[in-house]
Amino acid sequence: MIDLIGKIFIILGIGFDFFGVLGLVRLPDVYNRLQAATKCVTFGSAGILFGVFLMHGFTNLGFKVLLGIAFIFLTSPVAAHAISRAAHRSDISLTEKTVVDHYQDDKELKEE
Amino acid sequence: MKWIRWLIGLIIIAAFLIWDVFFLELAFEIKLINIILFCALFVLFRVIVGPSPADRIVAVDILGILIVGMLALLSSYYEKSYLMDVGLIWALMSFIASLAFAKILEGRFLDD
Amino acid sequence: MTKENKGRVIVFILSLFVYLGLTSFTDLQEIITGVIVAIIVSLLVGKFLLSTESKGNAFKRFFYGIAYFFKFLWEMAKANLHVAYLVIHPQVPIKPGIVKIKTNLKDDTALTVLANSITLTPGTLTVDINPAEQELYIHWIDVISTDKEECSREIAGRFEKLLMEVFE
């Protein structure tokens, strides 16, 4: 029974991974791609790891997999934040559909 | 034009999924690893095409997280827990790599 | 107990637990090695762990932390379904923009947790943070309004109450 639940978690995780990667290809600029990719791929990989943990229980492998979930959840938002800030500071433009950009306005104010 | 592209993509993805799930005689985990490798192809597309450097950094970051999920599945299939060690180290190293790339993209260097 | 010693004890327990989990919980040799390594690590880096004195009722804060974790998981599942909808839709109906929000949290850890949670929940991504004036710049994939107050309520209001209870 617990094996089946683990397999369902793994399949859901793969599905979310796939949507995240599709977003990486289809969305129009760096920031949108970063949004889709970070959210979906983090959640999807964590789902895969949790499914493997359910299939194996508290063995050596299960403990390593839990540690992996902690790593992914702690590191991926920080990396996304660093990349988006660096992209904005090195003047990579937003897409044409963009409605508003308060960050740019504040940066111009500071420079003046 | 958009609809035609969308349909072609849908057909390619559906054909791959049907071929992978129903026509290959492999274990459950290996089939799922095939799907993850298919996702990695999309990521490689973004690495090669990506118009700005930030796009490439995002893609490499995402590839790291995908590979952690893949290694978890692989170690679950072979029941060897040392493959997950590789995954843990990979997660940490790809995090540090994206931070370093982001810092260089911002125009600062390591002693800054 | 001073806060440095407290940090050392926490680092000792955590590193011993992780070491034994990675090797084995029953082997005597591994346990002895683990204790020695954990003592060295905790003496070296223990003083950096805690930056503020603890305050408030620890049990209540723990309870709110658990509640926050489940709320966060729920919001994250919603985020993924939202992104999946956007990606599958043939015309990609997005309306992105970068807005500025204001938060009432002061603690550094609380701000970090809030920024990370915003990154992992529906349609929002923290771009930069200004701790002096407690402002966050958020990239929003589907901008509803550009007013500062309304954005703050819409984006940060979901987590702010629980985080207030946990960290302040």
B106: contact with C, CB 8 A cutoff: no
Q: Provide the domain count of chain A.
A: 1
Q: Is the predicted ipTM greater than 0.90, yes or no?
A: no
Which has more confidence, C66 or C3?
Answer: C66
**A41/B84 touch (CB, cutoff 8 Å), yes or no:** no
Could you tell me if residue B6 is inside a domain? Answer: no
Chain C residues 61-100 with a CB less than 8 Å from chain B: 90-91
Look up the domain containing B39 and give its range.
27-105
CB A82 within 8 A of CB A34: no
Predicted pLDDT at C98:
80
Q: Which domain holds residue A91?
A: 2-111
Q: Mean pLDDT for each consecutive 10-residue tract of chain B (112 residues)?
A: 85 89 84 89 87 86 88 88 87 90 81 66
Average pLDDT of the residues of chain C: 79
- Does B97 fall in a domain? yes
Query: Is B61 domain-assigned?
Result: yes
Residue C54 is predicted with a pLDDT of 63
Listed by start position, the domains of chain C span 3-48, 58-167
pLDDT tens, residue by residue, C115-130 = 888 887 777 888 888 7
Task: With respect to residue B51, please indicate whether it lies within any of the assigned structural domains.
Answer: yes
pLDDT at C62 over 70: yes
Instruction: Tell me whether residues A102 and C137 touch, CB distance under 8 A.
Output: yes
Q: Do the beta carbons of residue B94 and residue B57 sit within 8 Å?
A: no
Please tell me the distance in Å from C127's CA to the nearest CA on chain A: 5
Residue B2 located in a structural domain: no
Cβ contacts of A107 on chain C, cutoff 8 Å: none
Other C-beta atoms lying within 10 Å of the C-beta of residue C140:
27
Contacts of A53 (CB under 8 A, 6+ apart): A6, A62, A65, A66, A69
Strands of the C135-140 sheet, one edge to the other = C97-102, C135-140, C124-130
Residues on chain A touching C128 (C-beta within 8 angstroms)? 85, 88, 103
Cβ–Cβ under 8 Å, residues B72 and A52: yes
Contact residues for C110 (Cβ-Cβ < 8 A; gap 6+): C163, C166, C167, C168
Total domain count for chain B? 1
Residue of C nearest to A37 (CA): C83
